Structure formats: structure tokens, C-alpha cells
Chain A
């Protein structure tokens, strides 16, 4: 679905040149849920922007569903197939009413009006925001705004959703809402998901985790395997979920709990046989 080969990106030139990505090789399969973690400035957002052709490779190739992002005739189809949600919900709202906001993407793609009228309520239903069609976006909570942003992407009938720290600004309830929505789209509709986050507990349900460092993929694997490498992650300036760390601590004090515990329930079960 997503394929990068020898992908490099630099910003600026001369003595202002910044190497943001170097020689990335990566495939994401259709229906996969991939989480990306990594320190500030490691290249996560830059990589994400290559996935819907907001940026083009300085070197190497990025293909979305077989379409090369450097070929400008593919641009609109790539943006339709791969939709992107950003961190700050307020910067993404363009209209004065929720339904206009959701319609914005498909209108840009030149979808006929009656088709859009069918898609908007369906998209809002998928993110559990039916009934909010005529609400003003700026009166919604952060979690609701992000779900409207996701609906705006769904209305373009994409196959990939790329989320760049969609929950960074949200309260715990909002974070849960957004995650549940994304996980449901992945599970029930086979949507391919790329989720960038600094919250380690949001990563535990992904199929695969990529750890970025200094413009490259430093580590990848199943969440359990990645979080088992507590020390390596700490060296990258990352962390493991608090529960994984607690389990790790208990184990090193001789308590018999498995070494791949990542959630509260798993730890409670392990301690209460």
C-alpha cells in the first residue's frame, strides 16, 4: 500500500541544508495498523508528508498504491487515497458548520453535490458524530473536532489514514474517542492506518511499531517486542508505557510476571492468578 525505497529528504540548501530523512526503506501492507514513534526532529512528520505527496523525495521513491508521488498526474488520486489528520484540531477546521467542513475534501476532488450529500452523513456516522451536521466546529470538544477531521477524510473514501499526533492536545476522554474511532476503522473496514504519537500507551494495539531516530528507522517490530527493549528505547530518548515499566521493575525484584505485559489489565491478571 505504501512503499518507500531509498527515500531521502532534505530541507533548504547550502549551509542551511537539513537532512530530515535518509535512505528509508519501508512497506506498509493494506489493512495494517502501523505506529511511528521517535524523538522530536527525528523525521516522523516529514515521512508522513511524503505519504500523501505534501513533500516529494529529494532522492529515492515513494509509492502509494503503486503510484509514484513524483508523477504530478497522480497527485489528486494520492491525496484521495491517503488522507492526513494533524495535531492541532483548530487549524484544520475550515468551515462554519460541521457538515461543510466534512464536505470540503470531496468538493475539492470535484465529487458531484448529490453524492457528497450522501457521503457526509455516512462519514459522520462512522465517527459517531451523526446529529452534529449543523453545529459550529469551534464549539466542539477537542476529541469531537478530531473525529470531524477524520470524517472529512472518510468522505473522500480513502484507503489510508495518516495521523500525525492527533491526540497530543486532547483530554483523556478525547484521546480514547479518537483512538477507538481509528481502531474501529482499521478493524471493521480494513483501513490502513499510520499513527504517529508520543504516547507509548497508544502504540500497544498496533500491528507494527516503527521507531525513528535521526532520519532513519532505528527499530521495528510488534509492540511487545519493541517495548521489551526498555534500555534501547531509553537510549533513543523514548519510553515504555508506565505499566510495562512497572512490570519490568517487579520482574527485576523477583516477581513472576511475563516480560511482555503492556496494559493495566494484563498486569492485574498476572498478579492475581
Chain B
């Protein structure tokens, strides 16, 4: 189910002195099975954009089309769309409200008519995916650490088994292993089950690892759109926009400035290592 944004503009508090243009004519087409990253400074419109993808916000101008259905059409069932497009918001702990962790995770699937026999299975499964030990199932979600709450919120969306998974800052507050494990499971949903991923993050390492295509937003507009490696290679432009690049790209840029002709389009520690090693072998470095 491809998602298309046609000339989408969103104005908060329109017709008031406080009107804010959060999106200004955004055009974007996301195909089935893509892994798309969205980065940009605070206030650049990322979270606003994401909330259009399942109809939580309506464009002030322009059209959002999901799987051929214009979300603004009367005949389009937003409920059906939300079953397929799962969104994990920036502060997912605000989405928690049930008495126990298990009930909280079960809420979404119950609501979309999954039968109770299957629910237990889905809850267990989702808890395992986000690394929540089974003994937390009966705890109140409000008696958890920050990172544990976030895991519950993520599990709730995973339990819906959406076809498109939208994650707004998915790993904020997660410890490194939690981040790794959860991203690995999400990656598997993508590679093995063809789930489309749309990931908004300030964490460049996560973006580098999870996405193939990267969109950079600034001032409510899409400023760059290309393969993740190509976009990150533009270190100077990104730095000017207040964005970072992954540390390994910064190392490569530093080496380039010292006269080594290493590639900039590396994404992982392993790629950086191999590139530096082969550069050393080519005899370009003194060491």
C-alpha cells in the first residue's frame, strides 16, 4: 500500500496571529517495502508529516493518498487505514493508559477485532520482540522505568501487525542493547515480511543502519531526498543545517581533510573499518 503526499501544506492555528506553517507543499511518494528515513532539525515538520500518514492530522491544502484512497474522502475508512499503518509516536509513554502492561499491549488488536485466543499470543510475541520480561505483564505500566514504558508502547503497535510501520524517535530513552534488539526485530519485519518502514530520528546511527532512502526536512519542506549513503556523504551541508552525521562518516570526512581519499558513503563501523584498511593497504597512509 503505497503512500503519496501531493503538495501537502499544514498550518497550525490557521487564521490567527499565531498561525504556524509546519508543512509547505510537501510531495513524497513511499513505495511498498521501502525503508525510508526522515531527518531534520527540531521544528522542521517531521512529526507533523508523520501524523498525516494515518489521518491523525488533515492537510490544510493538498492530498494524502494511502493505497489509492484519498484520506479526505468520505468513503475512506480511517479505521481500516490505521489498522495497516501503525504509528509509534515521539512520546509513546503518553499513549499508555491501561491497568496492566499486558492489557495495554492488547488494546490495539482487541479494538480492531482480533479474537481473544490470538490476543494472548500476540501480546507475548510483542513483549519478547521489545525485550520485556514476561513477569512485567501484570505490572501497572506507570510503575516502570522510562525505557520500560517506551518498550510497552512500542509493543502495543507491533501487536497490531501493521503493513506500514511509522516510528517517530523510536529509540529515545532505550539502552543500547534494547535499541539494538528492537531495531533488529523491526528490520526483520521489513526484510522477511515486507513491512514498509518510515523512521524519523535524530539518531544518525539508527538512520544509517535501518534505512535505504533518506529525506531531509527543513522549514516544512523537503530539502534533500536520496539514498541514505549519498545524503550522509554531504557532511558539510548537513552540519550547516544543524544535523549530525554518523560518527564513522565524521571520521572519514576528517581523514579526507588530511588528504586521504577514503569514501564518505560508509554507514557502519564495519564498512568504515574495511574502507580505512583498504586505504592503508593502497599505501596512502603512513601507518
Whether the Cβ atoms of B175 and A39 lie closer than 8 Å is: yes
Whether the Cβ atoms of A238 and B175 lie closer than 8 Å is: yes
Whether the Cβ atoms of B244 and A172 lie closer than 8 Å is: yes
Partner of B247, one of A90, A250, A264, A271: A264
Question: Residue A18 at the B interface, CB < 8 A?
Answer: yes
Whether the Cβ atoms of A12 and B143 lie closer than 8 Å is: yes
Whether the Cβ atoms of B42 and A253 lie closer than 8 Å is: no
CB distance from B248 to the nearest CB of A (A): 6
Whether the Cβ atoms of B277 and A173 lie closer than 8 Å is: no
Whether the Cβ atoms of B287 and A246 lie closer than 8 Å is: no
A198 to chain B: which residues have CB within 8 Å? 147, 173-176, 179
Partner of B173, one of A87, A142, A238: A87
B107 to chain A: which residues have CB within 8 Å? none
Residues of chain B in range 156-186 having any CB-CB distance to chain A below 8 Å: 169, 172-180
Whether the Cβ atoms of B202 and A170 lie closer than 8 Å is: yes
A38 to B285, alpha carbons, bound, how many Å? 38
Question: Residue A221 at the B interface, CB < 8 A?
Answer: no
Whether the Cβ atoms of A172 and B202 lie closer than 8 Å is: yes
A243 to B277, alpha carbons, bound, how many Å? 15
B173 to chain A: which residues have CB within 8 Å? 40, 87, 165, 168, 198
A243 to B173, alpha carbons, bound, how many Å? 21
CB distance from A239 to the nearest CB of B (A): 4
Whether the Cβ atoms of A41 and B147 lie closer than 8 Å is: yes
> Given A243-B251, A271-B255, A273-B286, are A169 and B269 neighbors across the interface (CB < 8 Å)?
no
User: Which size bracket describes the interface of A in this complex?
Assistant: 35 or more
Whether the Cβ atoms of B247 and A242 lie closer than 8 Å is: yes
A246 to chain B: which residues have CB within 8 Å? 247-248, 251, 269, 272-273, 276
Q: Which among A12, A42, A249 has the greatest number of chain B C-beta atoms within 10 A?
A: A249
Partner of B42, one of A141, A201, A243, A273: A141
A259 to B144, alpha carbons, bound, how many Å? 38
Output the nearest chain A residue to B41 by Cβ-Cβ distance: A171
Question: Residue A181 at the B interface, CB < 8 A?
Answer: no
Whether the Cβ atoms of B174 and A272 lie closer than 8 Å is: no
A165 to chain B: which residues have CB within 8 Å? 146, 173
How many A-B residue pairs lie within 8 Å, measured between CB atoms?
133
Question: Residue A95 at the B interface, CB < 8 A?
Answer: no
B272 to chain A: which residues have CB within 8 Å? 246
Whether the Cβ atoms of A169 and B43 lie closer than 8 Å is: no
A267 to B90, alpha carbons, bound, how many Å? 34
Question: Residue A143 at the B interface, CB < 8 A?
Answer: yes
Question: Residue A94 at the B interface, CB < 8 A?
Answer: no
Whether the Cβ atoms of B243 and A171 lie closer than 8 Å is: yes
User: Which size bracket describes the interface of B in this complex?
Assistant: 35 or more
Q: Chain A 150-169 against B: per-residue CB contact (8 Å), 1 yes, 0 no?
A: 00000000000000010011
A44 to B165, alpha carbons, bound, how many Å? 31
A257 to B42, alpha carbons, bound, how many Å? 37
A99 to B149, alpha carbons, bound, how many Å? 32
B251 to chain A: which residues have CB within 8 Å? 243, 246, 264, 267-268
Partner of A249, one of B177, B179, B243, B273: B273
Output the nearest chain B residue to A199 by Cβ-Cβ distance: B203
CB distance from B160 to the nearest CB of A (A): 23
A242 to B254, alpha carbons, bound, how many Å? 15
A173 to chain B: which residues have CB within 8 Å? 41-42, 242-243
Partner of A242, one of B143, B246, B277: B246
Whether the Cβ atoms of B175 and A174 lie closer than 8 Å is: no
Question: Residue B16 at the A interface, CB < 8 A?
Answer: no
> Given A200-B176, A264-B254, are A172 and B204 neighbors across the interface (CB < 8 Å)?
yes
A272 to B277, alpha carbons, bound, how many Å? 14
Question: Residue A117 at the B interface, CB < 8 A?
Answer: no
A173 to B44, alpha carbons, bound, how many Å? 13
Residues of chain B in range 261-287 having any CB-CB distance to chain A below 8 Å: 269-270, 272-273, 276-277, 280, 285-287
Whether the Cβ atoms of B287 and A141 lie closer than 8 Å is: no
B285 to chain A: which residues have CB within 8 Å? 271-272
Question: Residue A241 at the B interface, CB < 8 A?
Answer: yes
Question: Residue B148 at the A interface, CB < 8 A?
Answer: yes
Whether the Cβ atoms of A264 and B250 lie closer than 8 Å is: yes
A250 to chain B: which residues have CB within 8 Å? 273, 276-277
A interface, CB within 8 angstroms of B: 11-12, 18, 38-42, 45, 87-88, 90, 141-143, 165, 168-175, 198, 200-201, 237-239, 241-243, 245-246, 249-250, 253, 255-257, 264-265, 267-268, 271-273
A selection of 21 A-B contacts at a CB cut-off of 8 Å is: A39-B175, A40-B151, A41-B144, A42-B175, A45-B145, A45-B146, A141-B43, A171-B42, A172-B243, A175-B202, A198-B147, A198-B174, A198-B179, A200-B176, A237-B178, A238-B175, A239-B177, A264-B250, A264-B251, A264-B254, A271-B260
